[in-house]
Amino acid sequence: MRRAPLLAVVALVAAVTLPSAGAAPKANERVLVVLASTGSRPYTVADVQQAFAQTNAFLQRASFGQVHLDSDVTPWLTGLTAKPSCGANDGSVDSIFEPARREAAGAGFDAAGYDTVVYEFPDARCGFFGATFGRQIMLTREPTVDLLAHELGHTFGLGHAMGADCVDYLRCALEDTGDTLSPMGSGSLDYSAYEKSLLGWIPAQPRVTAPRSYVLAPPTGRSKLAQALVVETSRGTWWIEYRAQPFRGLVFRFVDAENHSAPYDPSAILILKPTKHARPWIAKGESFRIPLSWRVTLAKVSATQATVRFR
């Protein structure tokens, strides 16, 4: 779910359906987009097709060409007799989608032939823009790349990308979608190295076990170098990645061993202020002390790699 202001709705949805944890995306993800309303056509089919084309470009870039989104968009199907509900009390979310799916079938689109179905319900009055139920996505507003990358991420099994100034929860508030870089949070830069590892887009990454320097490449292309450095602590696992665009900096995320993001993959928490500066990365020459563990310094940077020192 993306930016859901109504906790009651979230609770309802959570109580109704535990979406089956998603599956990593296929090389060719087939998506059916059903535009269904009680009569309105608030945006055009061409606008929706463009949003999906841009999302395909985003996913192809993020996955280094390993995932392609192949989407079919229905015409506006304006025969719904009631506004879609935002959840279902009887335990079957399918009742939300069934009328629109029937309309789509009548227009020649068989939902069963697709990996994921996105339902555009502009008439729904819900406390969220998007919600994902297994392999079915419900959107209540015009699709954007950020919204689609977020909800599709849920269908792939990803949980929310969280954010906090520090991981001492007594001192620093934890924001559910507070990661300002990942679309699984509130960002639009790219999926994190941690998320790409979960999705199988980058291979297993090295564990830091000794005080020395490491060379790290950004997780934005295929590389034989490390694309993340992983630090295990008694409280959880740290994922450190280097970004060369649009900033050159080292980004720190923490996966708490006691996280509660099931049925999705464990969420990572982006450290929003690893230094006194108001930015979620450390720049060349700066250091960050991992609680109870290493002091990490970004020693050298270039467009293609960085040198990171652990003391």
Q: Which stretch binds Zn ion (CB under 5 A): 1-9, 14-22, 222-230, 277-285?
A: 1-9
- Per CB under 5 A, contacts with Zn ion among 216-255 are none
Sign of the CA dihedral 85, 90, 91, 97? negative
How far is the C-alpha of 252 from the C-alpha of 274, rounded, in Å? 8
Per CB under 5 A, 62 contacts Zn ion: no
For residues 290 and 233, what is the distance between their CA atoms, to the nearest angstrom? Answer: 9
CB of 262 to Zn ion, least distance (A): 14
Q: Cβ closer to Zn ion: 1 or 268? A: 1
Tell me 141's DSSP state: S
Size of the site for Zn ion (CB under 5 A): 1
What residues form DSSP beta bridges with 236? 233, 256
Question: How far apart are the two ends of the chain, measured CA to CA in Å?
Answer: 39
Angle CA(169)–CA(171)–CA(174) in degrees, nearest 5? 45
Contact status, residue 232 vs residue 207, Cβ threshold 8 Å: yes
Smallest distance, Å, CB 310 to Zn ion?
Answer: 34
Does position 1 interact with Zn ion (CB under 5 A)? The reply is yes
Residue with smaller CB distance to Zn ion, 87 or 249: 87
Smallest distance, Å, CB 9 to Zn ion? Answer: 12
Instruction: Give the C-alpha separation, 215 to 295, whole Å.
Output: 16
- The closest residue (CB) to Zn ion is 1
Rounded distance, CA 238 to CA 65, Å? 27
Containing H/E element for 255? strand 249-256
Pick 36 or 184: Cβ nearer Zn ion = 184
Nearer to Zn ion, 160 or 243 (CB): 160
Q: Please, are residues 32 and 109 in contact by the beta-carbon 8 Å criterion?
A: yes
Nearer to Zn ion, 177 or 227 (CB): 177
Closest approach of Zn ion to the CB of residue 267, in Å? 10
Kindly state the smallest distance separating residue 203's Cβ from Zn ion, in Å.
Answer: 27
Binding mask 14-53 for Zn ion (x = CB under 5 A): ----------------------------------------
By CB under 5 A, residue 296 contacts Zn ion: no
Contacts for 11 with CB less than 8 Å, ≥ 6 apart: none
**Cβ closest to Zn ion, residue 1 vs residue 290:** 1
Q: Nearer Cβ to Zn ion, position 10 or 80?
A: 10
Three-class secondary structure of residue 10 per DSSP? helix
- Min. distance of Cβ 31 from Zn ion in angstroms? 17
Which residues does residue 306 pair with via DSSP β-bridges, in sequence order?
216, 301
Q: What is the dihedral of CA 39, 41, 42, 44, to 10 degrees?
A: 170
Minimum CB separation from Zn ion for residue 304, in Å? Answer: 33
Instruction: Give the residue with the Cβ less far from Zn ion, 152 or 202.
Output: 152
Cβ 159 to Zn ion shortest distance, Å = 8
DSSP SS3 for 30: strand
Residues in contact with Zn ion by the rule CB under 5 A: 1
